[in-house]
Chains A and B, each alone.
Chain A
Amino acid sequence: MRIGSTIGCAALAALPVCSRAQQAAPNHRDAVYRAVLEFPSLVKGGVVVPQWMADSSSFWYADSMPDRTVIYRVDARKNERTPLFDTPRLRRSLASALGHEPPYAGLPFSAFTFANAERSVRFSLEGRDWLLDRDSYQITPAAAVTAAERERTTAQLVRRGFPTTGPDLFEVASPDRHWFATERSANLWVRSALDGRAEPLTRDTAKTLVWSVAGAKWAPNGLRIAAIRTNLTGVAVVPILHWLKPTEEVEWYPFTKVGGPMPRNEVYLIDVLRKEPVRVDLGSGADNYVSIVGWLPDGSELLVLRMSRDFKRLDLLAANPVSGATRLVLTESSDTFIKGIGANPGWANLVTPLEDGKRLVLISERDGWDHLYLYDLTGTLIKRLTSGTWPVLRVIATDVKGGWVYFTGHAESRLYDTHVYRVKLDGTGFARLTEGNGQHHAVFSPSKTYFVDTYSSIDRPPTTEVRSVEGKLVQTIARATIDSLKALGWKEPEEYIVKAADGTTDLYGNLYKPFDFDPARKYPVVEYIYGGPQTVNATKTFSQAWVAEQALAQLGFIVVVVDGRGTPERGRAFQDFVYKNFGRNEITDHVAALKGVAASRPYMDMSRVGIYGGSWGGYMTVRAMVTAPETYSVGIATFPVGDLYDHAASAIEPYMGLIANNRDGYEHGSSLRMAGNLKGKLLLIGGTNDVNATFSATIKLVDAFTRANRPYDLRVFAEQNHSLAGVNDYWRATVRDYFVKYLKPEAGSFSP
């Protein structure tokens, strides 16, 4: 299929290139590329965010088309989906209240709150708050909530996830919502939701003592809060350069490099009335990571996880809330590492206390696969709950009354499919609850009787279903439409399985083609790599992440993604491949995968192969260029790491061990000494505010290539951090132009 002939300009009408010159074939690829970049907006509906109602089994959601919003109520028990409001009636009533026709054609709002035991509804319109009586449809102005009042009663932003790319941090509300825990001048404060009055809970003055509400947990009675104080004494700082100021300024950011002094993370219990922080006894506090799991329901103990610096030992401790004294509940250990910085599950998510306050569910990889184990609070194993050669991912709900644990796992033949399962607390009754290939995401009703399941795969757009907790389909409530995508000529990406470098292990990946793919032609290949040991990189859901591989393919490339050995979610042995060997085996696997994929696909031109990625993906890109220069000829490394010594201890030490125990591994993992191997074109991209993969890594790479007399290309983004959020369009254009220039997709496809 030729793009110009079949889809014409109807689908591209919004694109200037099309309206300007309908026959301008050379630009069509670029037009489709740009259109696919808008992928999320080309997928309509299919995703529902349920708002549970007082009966615990019904929910409402807004089906928000800009002009015709409908709010539905779904009653799972009755298998009913009905509009929550009589729209014409509501609009009539609004017209008289407003004195004019309300805007739009459907509901003029898509969010509201219930009042008066759900008999009334409160919403905002035209800058005012209104109260709707659901019986009479009478609409009356509601006493306005002032901005100050709203601010006072909601959790405020404490700080942005800057300069790292962590999530924004908000105040932490007490269970009774009377207090918000917040931070001021590196101390912990509480702010009253009633009168806005704020007072300090801690009064440290040393610059090296930093309190945070990140991970802080209120006691059930709201009278105590457990929070972490970070002691930065001795911790190295890295500079963030503000070059653009009239006179340059330097900001310092604490950063524990591999082998460097760690901050001491101390957990404190603070009585909000007495304001005397009591230190939880976690030993010396040196060379540990800590995470507050939470309070037992009766507030009698606080559970805390303590991970050793080398990630080989994880202790669950229970702390006395008054004295801070601790007792060891259980210990997990590993010869390699327990979880590292993996997020699925992260080590801080391994323990789920049950609501009865007497037991907990532990995810342990002790037999080679993550499985569920039921313990009592003395640390005695009650029962192993799951087993098999597949991993549990996360516990998503527990129901002590019914006796169930609900969790996600990869227990199907399609290895990376994520389904929702449950198992009884006695280890029986294991069952899958969801249907359909791909990734399932469940939101449980407060009653634990129903859940809303949204799922998709890379070739099927999102669908949302309501299911009973037994797994019975109640109703399909939303299916995405992708008409606009189809109008572009969209084709499903291909999933493939290929052998690793060992010739036996299966690796899984995705392959993206231009929509006008013609198997008789030759296409240059672009690999999108991450390769870090904590994440699966190949997208398993329909919506694309920030990489937009599909868009890039439209420029005339075959884009491939694969996860090599050493990555997570496939059990201990697969993951441990990385241990002590970060940077040693990944590229070999990726090269083998690439060749394996190309062997049966003659349209892949293996003499023109590009590779790109960010962060560890930047490291792996550089690595590919210097360890497999005969395979990869063009690389784009965005905020790369160049040298393992230069990187964050928490991100490296679990996988590599401590430097003293693995000097060879660290040496081999550095790409700086291999700079002379570079043969192809390499573009390095860094942000000067990056303190995740520090900007110094880019400069060290530049220096190494200069010393090795190797040409490189470089873009530097001033004042940008590890997200490059402010320059995304420029970044994308740079990636596009670089690959087009040096991989030369077929003529007539694109003119830069």
Chain B
Amino acid sequence: MSGGRRVTPVPRLVAIGVALGALGSAATAQTPARDSAARERAFWQFLGYPSLVKGGALTPRWMADGASFWYVQGGPDSAVAYRVDPATGAITPLLDVPRTRRALAVALGHDPPYRGLPFADLTLLPEEKAVRFTLEGRDFLLALSDYSITPVPTQPTAERNRYVPQVVRPGRYGGDPDLKEVLSPDRRWFARDQDHNIWIRSTVDGRMEPLTTDGVADWEWSTSVNSDLSETDATAKWSPDGLRLAVMKADTRNVARVPLLHWLKPTEEVEWRPYVKAGGPMAAVDLYIVDLLSKRQLKVDVGHADQYVIPISWVPDGSELLVYRMSRDYKTLDVLAADARTGATRILVHETQKTFIKGISSLPAWTQLFTPVGDGKRFLWLSERDGWDHLYLYGMDGALIRRLTSGAFPVLSVAGVDEKQGWVYFYAHAEPRLYDTHLYRVGLDGRPAERLTQGSGQHAVVLSPSNNVFIDTHSSLDRPPAVELRSAGGKLIKVLARASVDSLTALGWKAPEEFVVKAADGATDLYGVIVKPADFDAARRYPVIEYIYGGPQLVNMPRAFGQSAMQQGFAQLGFVVVTLDARGTTERGKAFQDVVYGNFGRNEIPDHAGALKQLAAARPYMDLGRVGIFGGSWGGYMTVRAMVLAPDVYHVGVARYPVGDLYDHWSLIEAYMGMPQDNRAGYDYGSSLRLAGNLKGHLLLTHGTNDVNATFSATMKIVDALTRANKPYDLRIFPEESHAFSAAAHRYWLETTKSYFIEHLRPE
């Protein structure tokens, strides 16, 4: 799916890099059941099951006709490059591997390494007569006609690096992308942050010069500015002619700072990070168009209110810059067109909601609602104005041309626009299986929408440059990934790849069970999955673990084949693991989502606790006398919440980098809760600190000291509240860890969590 603003304030836990076979489980002191060693082995194996899925994915490299493509299959030891004929789906080797290796042996003077193609990457030169690759530090050209290999002068590293965007600084918050230089469309300049200003670096000679000079600490220019100080992909936009840069300057002097404690240094150090807390001062952001040659700064008139401003793109002729402007309360979103000569703006779209527009959701994010149609005269607008996200076609004068989609389902995002043939390709949840994602297309001229992909589950496509064919990679919870080549109209041309899951089968891996239950209102259907141990025996009783997220901006339950690693891992310890998405979450229309509005922390746990009871009613093997819950970030908040709001349902909780108190959190909560000043009762209710006295079960808090997403202070506040309430708790602190745990910290966390659940839930 297309890029855009990355808002990941509260990512889910990801089972990262769990090496199979490395079973160093020294951190477990408890002795559970008789076959505990086998269970622990299975725990790590199943946490890593996605890596046991072989194949079922490919990366197409399009050829000059815009429809043919080639791809490399296999690891270094057996790599083969294939090309695909889009008309027939016929697959032929792009290179004859033995012949290539023979030629290479001559060119190198010795046998090339490995047994397949010995290089991981190659470039098919224009006209497809030769390929270029790098091997043993040298560049070679291989003529496809006779397999002759010629060394080509190797580009000096410095010269090559001049064309590679450099990392300006690492992502500010854990898990955020590194900030990189932004390349101009003519490939002549990179724009970059330096010394609080914007500098440009020439790709021709590497020379650098300042584009701005008036930036200072706390009032600085950046190619990646946001009013909430979240990390994003570049917000700076080069004009099509590469002579102007739309870029922002943020005044953060009034923004609160939170400390990062570097306790491990010989003498402790404190680093301060700006952090916009709920209701607190935001960064004041101004948008400028800066002329590359005169260095003149033209201010774009976006107003001065508390708001989020993000440039979208330039119109193709460079006459206007398009800009999103979202009000701080997320109730009003404008698309502005700024005159590139005067900075004056006009409103193209004015979108409003009584509750909030998208919040910090990522599917779609509010920064992905606008899609230009190639000619620069029209654009697509994704709007939830009738209660469901749908596509609307507008002219650049701001007039609605026509509505393109409708129905009681949400469009998720635009996958591509084929202006020539008049199609918009998009993803949506438009099937009876609510959360299935398919590719559809609809005519720009009003031709009705049609579904293009087959098979339940999740589809992700790559459209060919010619828009004639697309490659669909799909899977479901119980079907391993497969790759299909289909015509633009959806006709299956060829199944290109199917994943092999032999190792999974050997382990006894079983697919999750999907379920539907009622929400606490007794009427709304909620969807989720249950994961059971591989050696599940319905005659036995299993303690239950719920893996929760509960934040209002994403769907937590696994939906594709490789997404249930955490659930599968914990299930193997002898638990039944449940994951579901309650009211207030995304991808099910405005009414479902709006349950959270003003009420974050109020309805989630009743929905989740109710779901567990319904599930257990029909599943006698679920022992509701032993229920655990865990989650990270908002999932940590919800874990704490479950332990204090439903202490008779949840007995053991492990909260990873939790939030304890909504006041203490990032301003991103404002979309759902409004400003604290306007919703005192809601914020008070949402605080778990005052509910600490309700705790009955075992609660383990885990947090990294460098966390500036869910700040470390949240855990200290929870600890303090529990101490004051005279409640025992458990705690693990991860020094120097952020909101994205390192692999080592994550592994320790898994060990700890595993031991905690085994100790207190006592699986058979």
Cα–Cα, bound, A715→B755 (Å)? 18
Q: Which of B96-104, B573-581, B679-687, B743-751 contacts A (4 or more CB under 8 A)?
A: B743-751
Of the residues B263, B720, B723, B729, contact of A696 by C-beta under 8 Å: B263
Cα–Cα, bound, A707→B751 (Å)? 13
Q: Please tell me if B88 contacts chain A, counting CB pairs below 8 Å.
A: no
Are A737 and B728 in touch, CB under 8 angstroms? yes
Q: Please tell me if B270 contacts chain A, counting CB pairs below 8 Å.
A: yes
Are B733 and A714 in touch, CB under 8 angstroms? yes
Cα–Cα, bound, A602→B546 (Å)? 48
Are A702 and B735 in touch, CB under 8 angstroms? yes
Are A730 and B733 in touch, CB under 8 angstroms? no
Q: Please tell me if A149 contacts chain B, counting CB pairs below 8 Å.
A: no
Are B259 and A709 in touch, CB under 8 angstroms? no
Q: Please tell me if B539 contacts chain A, counting CB pairs below 8 Å.
A: no
* 705-733 of chain A: CB within 8 A of chain B: 706-707, 709-719, 727, 729-730, 733
Are B264 and A700 in touch, CB under 8 angstroms? yes
Shortest Cβ gap from B725 to chain A (Å) = 10
Cα–Cα, bound, A241→B257 (Å)? 13
Of the residues B259, B264, B755, contact of A703 by C-beta under 8 Å: B264
* 214-273 of chain A: CB within 8 A of chain B: 236, 238-239, 241, 243-244, 246-248, 250, 257, 260
Q: Which of B213-221, B292-300, B372-380, B710-718 contacts A (4 or more CB under 8 A)?
A: B710-718
Binary contact readout B670-686 vs A (1 if CB under 8 angstroms, 0 otherwise): 00000000000000000
Are B751 and A243 in touch, CB under 8 angstroms? no
Q: Please tell me if A572 contacts chain B, counting CB pairs below 8 Å.
A: no
Residues in B whose Cβ lies below 8 Å from that of A250: 259, 270
Shortest Cβ gap from A503 to chain B (Å) = 35
Are B267 and A238 in touch, CB under 8 angstroms? yes
Cα–Cα, bound, A688→B728 (Å)? 18
* 656-715 of chain A: CB within 8 A of chain B: 681, 688, 694-696, 699-700, 702-703, 706-707, 709-715
A243-B263 contact given A703-B735, A713-B730, A715-B731, CB 8 Å threshold: no
Q: Please tell me if A577 contacts chain B, counting CB pairs below 8 Å.
A: no
Are A247 and B258 in touch, CB under 8 angstroms? yes
Shortest Cβ gap from A641 to chain B (Å) = 14
Q: Please tell me if B277 contacts chain A, counting CB pairs below 8 Å.
A: yes
Are A711 and B29 in touch, CB under 8 angstroms? yes
Cα–Cα, bound, A730→B692 (Å)? 15
Cα–Cα, bound, A107→B554 (Å)? 74
Cα–Cα, bound, A645→B267 (Å)? 10
Q: Please tell me if A124 contacts chain B, counting CB pairs below 8 Å.
A: no
Residues in B whose Cβ lies below 8 Å from that of A706: 732, 734-735, 744-745, 748
Residues in B whose Cβ lies below 8 Å from that of A257: 266-267
Shortest Cβ gap from B601 to chain A (Å) = 19
Binary contact readout B244-284 vs A (1 if CB under 8 angstroms, 0 otherwise): 00000000000011110101101110100000010010000
Cα–Cα, bound, A711→B759 (Å)? 13
Q: Please tell me if B614 contacts chain A, counting CB pairs below 8 Å.
A: no
Q: Please tell me if B208 contacts chain A, counting CB pairs below 8 Å.
A: no
Residues in A whose Cβ lies below 8 Å from that of B736: 703
* 637-677 of chain B: CB within 8 A of chain A: 663-664
Are A716 and B261 in touch, CB under 8 angstroms? no
Residues in B whose Cβ lies below 8 Å from that of A246: 277, 663-664
Cα–Cα, bound, A710→B25 (Å)? 9
Are B748 and A241 in touch, CB under 8 angstroms? no
Residues in B whose Cβ lies below 8 Å from that of A718: 716-717, 719-720, 723
Are A699 and B705 in touch, CB under 8 angstroms? yes
Are B261 and A244 in touch, CB under 8 angstroms? no
Of the residues A243, A711, A734, contact of B712 by C-beta under 8 Å: A243
- Name the prevailing secondary structure of the B interface residues: mixed
Are B723 and A717 in touch, CB under 8 angstroms? yes
Q: Please tell me if B212 contacts chain A, counting CB pairs below 8 Å.
A: no
Shortest Cβ gap from B246 to chain A (Å) = 33
Are B267 and A236 in touch, CB under 8 angstroms? yes
Residues in B whose Cβ lies below 8 Å from that of A695: 263
Cα–Cα, bound, A694→B267 (Å)? 10
* 301-339 of chain A: CB within 8 A of chain B: none
Of the residues A699, A714, A737, contact of B263 by C-beta under 8 Å: A699
Cα–Cα, bound, A460→B534 (Å)? 66
Are B268 and A702 in touch, CB under 8 angstroms? no
Residues in B whose Cβ lies below 8 Å from that of A715: 719, 723, 729, 731
Cα–Cα, bound, A703→B745 (Å)? 10
Interface range for B: 35 or more
Are B268 and A716 in touch, CB under 8 angstroms? no
Residues in A whose Cβ lies below 8 Å from that of B716: 241, 243-244, 688, 716, 718
A699-B752 contact given A710-B27, A711-B28, CB 8 Å threshold: no
Residues in A whose Cβ lies below 8 Å from that of B732: 702, 706, 712, 714
A700-B733 contact given A710-B27, A718-B719, A737-B728, CB 8 Å threshold: no
Residues in A whose Cβ lies below 8 Å from that of B744: 706-707
Q: Please tell me if B161 contacts chain A, counting CB pairs below 8 Å.
A: no
Of the residues A239, A688, A699, A712, contact of B270 by C-beta under 8 Å: A239
Most buried by B among A247, A719, A734: A247
Residues in A whose Cβ lies below 8 Å from that of B729: 715
A239-B731 contact given A709-B748, A727-B723, CB 8 Å threshold: no
Are A699 and B735 in touch, CB under 8 angstroms? yes
Are A711 and B755 in touch, CB under 8 angstroms? yes
Residues in B whose Cβ lies below 8 Å from that of A730: 723, 726
Shortest Cβ gap from A752 to chain B (Å) = 9
Are A247 and B270 in touch, CB under 8 angstroms? no
Q: Please tell me if B153 contacts chain A, counting CB pairs below 8 Å.
A: no
Q: Please tell me if B24 contacts chain A, counting CB pairs below 8 Å.
A: yes
Of the residues A694, A711, A713, A717, contact of B751 by C-beta under 8 Å: A711
Most buried by A among B256, B263, B745, B748: B263
Are B27 and A709 in touch, CB under 8 angstroms? yes
Residues in B whose Cβ lies below 8 Å from that of A729: 726
Shortest Cβ gap from B487 to chain A (Å) = 54
Are B27 and A711 in touch, CB under 8 angstroms? yes
Most buried by B among A696, A703, A706, A710: A706
Are B717 and A244 in touch, CB under 8 angstroms? yes
Residues in A whose Cβ lies below 8 Å from that of B263: 695-696, 699-700, 703
Residues in B whose Cβ lies below 8 Å from that of A236: 267
Nearest B residue to A706 by beta-carbon distance? B748
Cα–Cα, bound, A710→B27 (Å)? 5
Shortest Cβ gap from A689 to chain B (Å) = 12
Shortest Cβ gap from B753 to chain A (Å) = 11
Binary contact readout A353-370 vs B (1 if CB under 8 angstroms, 0 otherwise): 000000000000000000
Cα–Cα, bound, A646→B266 (Å)? 7
Are A239 and B268 in touch, CB under 8 angstroms? yes
Shortest Cβ gap from B716 to chain A (Å) = 4
Binary contact readout B479-504 vs A (1 if CB under 8 angstroms, 0 otherwise): 00000000000000000000000000
Are B720 and A733 in touch, CB under 8 angstroms? no
Residues in B whose Cβ lies below 8 Å from that of A244: 713, 716-717, 720
Cα–Cα, bound, A702→B752 (Å)? 13
Nearest A residue to B733 by beta-carbon distance? A702
Residues in B whose Cβ lies below 8 Å from that of A646: 266
Residues in B whose Cβ lies below 8 Å from that of A711: 27-29, 751-752, 755
Shortest Cβ gap from A143 to chain B (Å) = 46
Cα–Cα, bound, A658→B723 (Å)? 40
Q: Please tell me if B523 contacts chain A, counting CB pairs below 8 Å.
A: no
Q: List 10 A-B contacts (CB under 8 A).
A: A239-B259, A243-B713, A244-B716, A244-B717, A244-B720, A703-B735, A709-B747, A711-B752, A711-B755, A717-B720
Q: A244-B713, A715-B731 are in contact. List 11 more A-B contacts (CB 8 A).
A: A236-B267, A239-B268, A243-B713, A246-B277, A248-B259, A257-B266, A260-B267, A645-B266, A706-B745, A711-B27, A714-B732
Interface pairs A-B: 4 shortest CB-CB = A243-B716, A699-B263, A718-B720, A696-B263
Residues of A whose CB lies within 8 Å of any CB of B are 236, 238-239, 241, 243-244, 246-248, 250, 257, 260, 645-646, 681, 688, 694-696, 699-700, 702-703, 706-707, 709-719, 727, 729-730, 733-734, 737
